Structure 1
Amino acid sequence: MYWVNGVPSTSVTLNDRSFQYGDGCFTTMRVRGAQIEHWPYHKARMAAALECLKIAEPDWVTIESWLAVVLETMAQETHAIGGIKWHVSRGQGGRGYSPANVDTPCHTMSSFAYPSHYATWQQDGIALGVCQTPLSVNPYFAGHKHNNRLEQVLCKAELEQGPFADGITINVQNHVIETTMANLFWRVDDKVFTPALTSSGVAGVMRRCVMDALVALGQPMVEVYAPLSQLLCSDEVWLCNSLLGVAPVSRIGEKAYPIGKLTRTLQGILNP
């Protein structure tokens, strides 16, 4: 089901700036027990993205009241777990690219059932390909989940021609960044690594939760600019996003990886 500015609807106007220019940002949230998991982190990431894009920060009381309606609707369904996508556009109009005189952002929210195959990925792992479409480098937008997702669209189009459900993305500087839908972590000996996202990529909420959990476990971790060759030498690899949680990576290309003890520990902490 869909809501636009708190009202059930399935449409926005053709001059909406997200449709015209990708002018906005979004987040996807897991819902369990009629509650949004990690809501403070989602709120903080949206506030940071809106500030970066110079879109007016919303009245959070209003946003939470709209989300309460979505949650109430979801609670009437039979699914114990599901998701909400919250998408913000700068609004309607403006002359060309100019955002002048556009001062009313448009908020759309949608609810959906939890993907049934995620349980299999969480248990058995996911095999990854390597995408050939490179990610651009833009330190100003790095980390934020803005509405310009063409790179991910092209990467997904590549994957649909092969056997892999997801793929590793690499930027034009030949650094591993993430997969098309999740953040990456890997372990070598007693140290954990994750890509630094200061030039490319999305700093996901579950990535932050994994990093918090590693600190609590006393597990050393380093954010790195790493080539693919470094990732391929790992002892253990996992990926994460807010909806999937933590899932092991069982294979990258032709190379298999064991499902490690640390991955299972993190799943016990962070997965439903």
Structure 2
Amino acid sequence: MAGASDNGGWPDDLPDLPEEWGVIVIPDDLSELSDEVDAVRAELRLADPPTRWQRLIRRPGVRRLRRLATTTLRAPVLIISLAVLVTVASLFASAWPGPPRQPATQRTASTTPEQATTLPALELVASDGATVPLRGRLPAVILLVDGCACAALVSDTIDAVGPEIAVITVSAATASASAAGTPPTGATPPANGKTVRILNDPTGSLRSHLNLGNPDTTAAAVLVNRSSQIVRLVPRTATVDDFRADLARL
């Protein structure tokens, strides 16, 4: 056993205390340290004791659940944030003024091309070879009868119009007019007190001016008032009932 040394009974092999601690005096009566003990206890009392909830959340299992919940919520929060950013960007893009656009011109069913609003000042050929101005007898119902067996249509139109309205049939050749059932003469005598004319248009100028398609088994009807204005254009018709109501406008 190691014997006691001259330094108050402490073994000689113990290391010296750090110099920064200074001089440490250990009193013979420990009651002299009561002031220091009270100061340390006062510092410890400054921290309130943990509540039950704090003790619960400090448990290792609860800490792992908190970390797992935090990791799980990060992805939905990121997705929602991106969606909000995209929505805000779209709103700004739609509200941002762009270059002015030129208004588009739309053609509706009630809009008639400029060249079709007025009857052209054409000169057609009568069956006897004479030149006849198309506007020479207005108001009129003009029937384009190429390729149409329209005898009933022509007869019904003559019966439907008043004595002040002329009925004019136009075809590419005299043979077509004869097939339509109309008399093969130019300026015919009034039928039942009404004016009927049969004219030929070998070049198809009137059909082209009115933007009509190729002839088929139906006729085209053009209602023209006294001022050469086209009141009604029926591209395809086989009965006077298609334009009977418009005759009163001539």
Q: Does the pair score TM above 0.5?
A: no
Tell me the TM-score normalized by structure 2: 0.26
Q: Please state which structure has a larger fraction of its residues in helix.
A: 2
Q: Which structure has the larger Rg?
A: 2
Q: Please state which structure has a larger fraction of its residues in strand.
A: 1
